[in-house]
Structure 1
Amino acid sequence: MAETAALNPKQANALFDILTHHETYAEIEDFKDPATIHHYGPPFQDDKQTESPILQMLLSKFVLRLPGMRDVEKDFWKVRVESLIEDLSAAELSESYDKGVLGIRKTLATAVSALIEYPARGCLGAFPKVESAFAEREYDNKNPDDVLDAFNAFLQQLVYGDLFDTLYAKAAETDDLTKHPSLVQAAHEFVVVNLASFMHYTLVLSPEGPSLLRMVENVHKLLPYGIIRQTLRIGNVATMISGMMKIILAKMSLGSVTNWLGVSSGADEGMNLLQQIMSTVLGWDKSELKKRLDKLKKDPNAPSKKVQTALRDWTNASRQEHLETRNRSRDQSMSIVSTILSLSSASPDLTEAQHTKALEYLSLSLSIRDRDEIIRVLCKHNPDHLTQAIRDAVSAYEPMIRQVHQAADLSATVGDVEAFINDMIKMSKQGKSDGKKTSVSTQPPSVEDYVDLLHRHQGATHRFLHQVAKNGKEVTKWFQDYCHDAAKEFQVHESKEKEGKLLMDAVSELLAPLSDEDRKRVMAEIDAHNAYLDTLHASSAARVRDVIAKKGATAYGPGAYLARWQGLLDSTPITPDKPQGPVRKGGSRGVKEEARKDVDGEVKDVGVGEKAAEKVVADKTPAAPGVELTVRLLGKRFRELLVRKL
């Protein structure tokens, strides 16, 4: 216990950071199991204690209190959303481990986890007040140090001051950012730089960038912007809402008519426009994957018919069989393909070239099945929970929609969104000219290019907010009150300070039952992580300065968030690429190359090349120290602690 008592505040915060980081992602990963949603607690079950404490806390404190969302019917959560989550989990979508590549689902799950862990820590540990942040001063949004200082003061004044009231009042007066206090202008620049950094990382640096960009572009092409803008111009709000619902959700099939007439029950009603778009975009993806699969089958080293059958059968196996196969693969340092074949009637004896093609065949087969399952659950399921969930949400938000429709020009706003997406796609795909008249090559877009993109379009956002704040006083008051209530969740007051201290003491006491040797090793990981956090925030601040100062084309943006996100991706276990070999990680170069393969199966670089990206990341971002022992020894008890406390 003496060792535990010696845990100083910085060490306690480092341990808290480790455990909340891994607990948040563990709770998200738990939703691979269909049973998880049945143990979530409110709003899905009223009489059960949650087994997902962080996610449940964030949902109850922030999402369920949102204007509009707080008015949805109980069936929205208990029937619609719960069923959708359960059905997607039961679909047994593939794992990155099986496919040998980090997929879009893994990329998005890790992105969400790395983002929401910050408000989670703020709610659990509170946000200490810093009196110096309230000192009156002027900030220069062209000065990097001022921008960094301004954002910290901005957060302090949002949580402990009356800055929310100032923002709402000024937004009602003007749509000109320069009319706001210098603190707001400088903090706004910090947000723009970090948002640009996120966009750049997602669309340029990430191995899944090409796939995400292609998906955004395909959805963008299919959206009927002209019809939507025309419908939003209708003056009568009820007619406008009805028109929009018909455009997005109406189903015109024989099944929908016979079900409505009572002639049939449960007949396939077809798909609405939203589902048609999802189905079409995923269908295009499927077509490209099938082209790769057909090309692979013609390769001299393609798997035999018997091997193909064994691999294809495994893609449709049960969740339990998938888990057992992955565990055996990890335990025996054997690739997932070799493990599957060793458990089937097909021979596992493959040459290295044959094994490579068999692994690719499995990956493509899983990707095709994933898209089929997503289409089945979201677009072809009966009953159609997605469509009804949207109807429930629109019904709850109708009072807000009426006010916003009267306050702002929604048709013009949709036009602004379309223009922004057009500009973003064009820049992300084409980059920028390298300046040589005789060359047609392009340079990849930099973080500064995305900053410029946001600056070009930020006026549209400011105009919309000004219109709503000026003309929609009631809806503005709803959100103003919500922001004040949300800020209180981060404040340190007497009872919260005591509660926070008790929680941090309890976290420190998690070390008490450990043996002397384990405690010593855990303390070493805590100290290393503490030093890592200091270096991480310093390096992020340095990159903010580089971008604002426009020293050059920044190839890797600021944001401690990005490093935590990248850490989750890089640590993802991936099947060995040889019949016998060590389990790989998501950060392995071969894994990243696989994610960038185009329809012809060739590696395609988008944005900076892999080597350039890896060099930038290595130069600019400190490597996270290993904390596996700490998580293994304390992770489960930390969750139990949160369940008791929350």
Structure 2
Amino acid sequence: MSSTTLSPQQLGALLDILVHHETYSEVKTFKHPEAIENYGYPFDTCTKKRKGGESRRSLSPLLQLLFTRLVLPIPALRDLPSEFWAVKFRSIMKRFGEADLSDSYDKGTLGSRKRLASAASVIHESVTRGLLSGVPNRKLPDLYGTYDLHTAEDLSRAWDDVIQHLVYGNLLDELFDHLTQTPNLEDHSPAVNAAVDYAIIYVATFLHHLFVLSAEGPYLLKLIDNVHSLIPYTVIGQTLRLGNAGTMINAMIRLFLAKVSVGAISNWLGLTQNASDGMNLMQRIISLVLEWDAGDFRKAVDNIRRRKEGPSEAHLDTIDEYLQASRQEHEATRELSQSDSMSIIITILETRDKGSTKSLTDTQHTQCLEYYSAQLAIRDREKITQALCRETPDLTTTIIREGVSVFEPMIRAIHKNVDIRKHINSVESFLSDLIKTSKPKKREDGKAQNGTVPPSVEDYVALLNRNRQLAYDYLHEFAKGCPELRTMWLEWAKNSLQFFRQPPENSSSPKVQSRCSFGTKEMDKSLQTLFDELPKDEQSSVKAAIDAHAKYLSTLEDMSWARVQRIIDGVDNQEKETSGNMTGPGVYITRWHCLLDETIVTPNTPRGPPRKGKDVKGVKALGKTEAIAKSESWDSKAISEQEEQTHPDAPDVSIVVDALAPQFKNLVADISRKGLPLK
């Protein structure tokens, strides 16, 4: 037994460290096809039993915990046959793993996939911590008390009060009933009104980080704009005019999923088997957007090849040859580059011809890095298009068809009782507003370079406030017009929230226990046991790292509150033409940046140590820079650097991860597999 008992704050910090590490570790494994093979239920072709009748452990236990507890029970999704997940969805995920998509290390920048995957990871870890430890069970507060909408403290208190009532009270039933009567959600109570304002500030902060602080923001916005311009909203609206729901659904499926090609006709006639069917409208939209995108990178490649003082044809041809190499060779080259402190370009060239780099100047080396990055971007888009649009059998179309099939009864009920056309127009309107809001703004106060400034967090708060009623109107019409569906979704939501409850102290019912989180007390006990099992000489250093992390989390929480207050003040004073805040609240935002900062990136010089993600966070990949007009962009690097100056440095907790991460993974795997069905 250890002489050191960790405090609740230390145990909370320890859980945060381990969940943060494990979540992103699992996300990263999906670069390989083996990840989906070892996921376990529901992607097993058969769920294998272990001793005691339990299913085998997943190698992605946190992802499995979230998926099986909250996603699989979603109405309609729960009706999908087991082969949908175990065969079709698993196969398309395996295709992406086999595609060997590029790594941030090789590209020398933090790409869109890296940023989005790390963002999804920190959101996922926040939810998963709730599934593991639960929401504290306190006395239910009064939702009809006084909340000052102009103070961060009251908005935060309102959010906590609403969460308490959602998990342990009857607030969910009340909200569903309230939306049946009126489309004004905030009218329910002062606490709900304040909690909505609080949530909007956090969502606005996320959008601001995604589209403004991220160097990839203008590029992501361009992709959204391209897709938005290709969606046939008018044709969709006309199709929705059809009174018969079955006819409408069939017409919509034909519009997006029907294929008319020689291969499709010959397959249908039985003259061929598995001939290429061509692409339907949905796949054409995907392929067109990715092809337009790849076109910008091809221009960048051609520009480098045409430079008189650029790299030789032999150097560029060697890079092109390496692009076609196997995954094993790519991984070996990457490891050699890191271990020998050479750039990825020097490593590629020297592994094929030791003397080929002698004539390579520093400028040519930089151009080779840009050339390689652009070629990787082209290859990625071709691989994604191949996996989604050109592979046989066409799993993308099959998955969409089966998804529509299980949702068809729901679609029929909504089509009968809700004017869907109005809400499709609302989606179109919101996306247009989002694109417009995310463009630079003209200012005449003399503070902005070239008369423009990037959008602020307050601009995104205003965007969400302008459009919140669109969501309320749909929820009201849905709740009022579709009582059976309302009951179905209410039941799912209530069952989901039960997973965030802490188990009753005196309950011995297996059903009650299985519907609750693992619980703070149980999790604290398990973490303490893991800590106790460490060697005595290792416990003190692990504890020191935990203490540093607990202090770090406390600092981030205080900083988040202060930023909420600044946003509130900025929204209140928005009419005064202030420049607005470039930073927003959220501990998860800082943890997101930590993941990006820790990313290893190839050196930008021929020889030298690898760089970190924080060194290239404001750097756009060649091709993306040329694709975006200067009038539609801004210096995200300068904004990001200014924003990060206010962040405390995260402590090094690698000793905690090294000591306890494997044991924690086994603990979560045991929790996750409880209650899984056996076949």
Q: Return the alpha-carbon distance in structure 2 between the equivalents of residues 432 and 42 of structure 1.
A: 53
Q: CA deviation at 1:468?
A: 0.4
The match for 1:158 among 143, 157, 166 is: 166
Q: 1:527 — aligned with what?
A: 547
The answer to whether the 8 Å contact 2:136/2:502 transfers is: yes
Q: CA deviation at 1:500?
A: 4.4
1:593 matched to 2:619: yes
Q: CA deviation at 1:6?
A: 2.3
Alignment of 1:560-599 (within 5 A): 560-588=587-615, 590-595=616-621, 598-599=624-625
The match for 2:568 among 542, 548, 551 is: 548
CA offset digits 1:458-517 (Å, max 9, x no partner): 111111000001111011111111111011000012255886433322223333454444
Q: 2:357 — aligned with what?
A: 348
Q: 2:411 — aligned with what?
A: 401
Q: Return the alpha-carbon distance in structure 2 between the equivalents of residues 404 and 536 of structure 1.
A: 44
Q: 1:18 — aligned with what?
A: 17
The answer to whether the 8 Å contact 1:205/1:607 transfers is: no
Q: Which amino acid aligns with 1:538?
A: D
Gaps of 5+ in 2: 49-55, 505-512, 673-679
Q: 1:243 — aligned with what?
A: 251
Q: Return the alpha-carbon distance in structure 2 between the equivalents of residues 216 and 187 of structure 1.
A: 29
CA offset digits 1:534-581 (Å, max 9, x no partner): 111111111111111226511111111211111111111101111111
1:55 matched to 2:63: yes
Q: CA deviation at 1:394?
A: 0.6
Q: Return the alpha-carbon distance in structure 1 between the equivalents of residues 296 and 556 of structure 2.
A: 40
1:370 matched to 2:380: yes
Query: TM-score w.r.t. structure 1 length?
Result: 0.95
The match for 1:612 among 618, 629, 639 is: 639
Q: 1:586 to 1:436 in 2, by over 3 A?
A: closer
Q: 1:328 to 1:439 in 2, by over 3 A?
A: closer
Alignment of 1:91-490 (within 5 A): 91-131=99-139, 133-134=141-142, 136-345=144-353, 347-349=356-358, 350-435=360-445, 441-490=451-500
Match of 1:587, SS state, is helix
Match of 2:438, SS state, is helix
The answer to whether the 8 Å contact 1:289/1:364 transfers is: yes
1:558 matched to 2:590: no
Q: CA deviation at 1:308?
A: 1.4
Q: CA deviation at 1:599?
A: 4.9
Query: TM-score w.r.t. structure 2 length?
Result: 0.91
Q: Which amino acid aligns with 1:348?
A: T
Q: Return the alpha-carbon distance in structure 2 between the equivalents of residues 339 and 379 of structure 1.
A: 34
Q: CA deviation at 1:246?
A: 0.8
Give % identity.
39
Q: 1:643 — aligned with what?
A: 669
Q: 1:537 — aligned with what?
A: 557
Q: CA deviation at 1:435?
A: 5.0
The answer to whether the 8 Å contact 2:599/2:612 transfers is: yes
Q: 1:479 to 1:440 in 2, by over 3 A?
A: same
The answer to whether the 8 Å contact 1:310/1:341 transfers is: yes
CA offset digits 1:80-134 (Å, max 9, x no partner): 2101100000000000001101111111110110101011111111111122634
Q: Which amino acid aligns with 1:18?
A: I
Runs of 4+ with deviation above 6 angstroms = 436-440
Q: Return the alpha-carbon distance in structure 2 between the equivalents of residues 58 and 173 of structure 1.
A: 33
Q: Return the alpha-carbon distance in structure 1 between the equivalents of residues 519 and 557 of structure 2.
A: 27
Q: CA deviation at 1:277?
A: 0.6
CA offset digits 1:378-434 (Å, max 9, x no partner): 010110001000111111111111112122211010111111111111121232434
Q: 2:2 — aligned with what?
A: 2
The answer to whether the 8 Å contact 1:593/1:603 transfers is: no
Q: 1:82 — aligned with what?
A: 90
Q: 1:498 to 1:459 in 2, by over 3 A?
A: closer
The answer to which of 636-645 and 482-491 deviates more is 636-645
Q: Return the alpha-carbon distance in structure 2 between the equivalents of residues 436 and 578 of structure 1.
A: 39
The match for 2:502 among 492, 498, 521 is: 492
The answer to whether the 8 Å contact 1:164/1:484 transfers is: yes
Q: 1:238 to 1:315 in 2, by over 3 A?
A: same
Q: CA deviation at 1:438?
A: 13
Q: Return the alpha-carbon distance in structure 2 between the equivalents of residues 512 and 301 of structure 1.
A: 63
Match of 2:282, SS state, is helix
Match of 2:42, SS state, is coil
Q: Which amino acid aligns with 1:625?
A: P
Q: Return the alpha-carbon distance in structure 2 between the equivalents of residues 65 and 138 of structure 1.
A: 37
The answer to which of 420-429 and 98-107 deviates more is 420-429
Q: 1:90 to 1:549 in 2, by over 3 A?
A: same
Q: Which amino acid aligns with 1:15?
A: L
Q: CA RMSD in A?
A: 2.1
Q: Return the alpha-carbon distance in structure 2 between the equivalents of residues 599 and 444 of structure 1.
A: 17
Q: Return the alpha-carbon distance in structure 2 between the equivalents of residues 320 and 31 of structure 1.
A: 16
Q: 1:503 — aligned with what?
A: 523
The answer to whether the 8 Å contact 2:134/2:518 transfers is: no
CA offset digits 1:258-286 (Å, max 9, x no partner): 11111110111011111101100000111
Q: Return the alpha-carbon distance in structure 2 between the equivalents of residues 506 and 17 of structure 1.
A: 14
The answer to which of 57-66 and 303-312 deviates more is 303-312
Q: CA deviation at 1:436?
A: 6.5
Q: Which amino acid aligns with 1:285?
A: D
The answer to whether the 8 Å contact 1:253/1:270 transfers is: yes
